[in-house]
Structure 1
């Protein structure tokens, strides 16, 4: 794996962690504006052209899987 690929993977994994953390906090504090903004920003990232440049992973599918994970 090249340095570029490792960095791209790290960026995506951090986005997943940020999304999960925001959702966890929002379960306890649904009015938390900053966490809601963070969650929305990460969701926009998953749907963005930038995400597609970083990886061949389908960002919309990844988001759907994360949402399913949260629902269970």
Structure 2
């Protein structure tokens, strides 16, 4: 097995958690774009932003949370 790619199951799990949170955030943002009054989508987006700024997120990845949020918002706005 190549030790430089995909060999650390904990790193793979951390990446999967962050990737799923990003997908969930995109979904919430898209729902808000269609219906800005959608309280459920707003709550989900706020919960995920809190996660992105949490210590747990910092343990999982070194990706700047504000950068990630900005890029995901840009993707929805496009």
Question: Does TM-score exceed 0.5, indicating one fold?
Answer: yes
Gaps (5+ residues) in structure 1?
none
Report the TM-score, using the length of structure 1 for normalisation. Answer: 0.88
Shift of 1:68: 2.1
Is structure 2 residue 21 aligned with structure 1 residue 9? no
Larger RCO (CA under 8 A, 6+ residues apart): 2
Q: Which structure has more helix as a fraction of its residues?
A: 1
Gaps (5+ residues) in structure 2?
1-5
Rg (Cα) greater in structure: 2
Equivalent pairs, count? 72
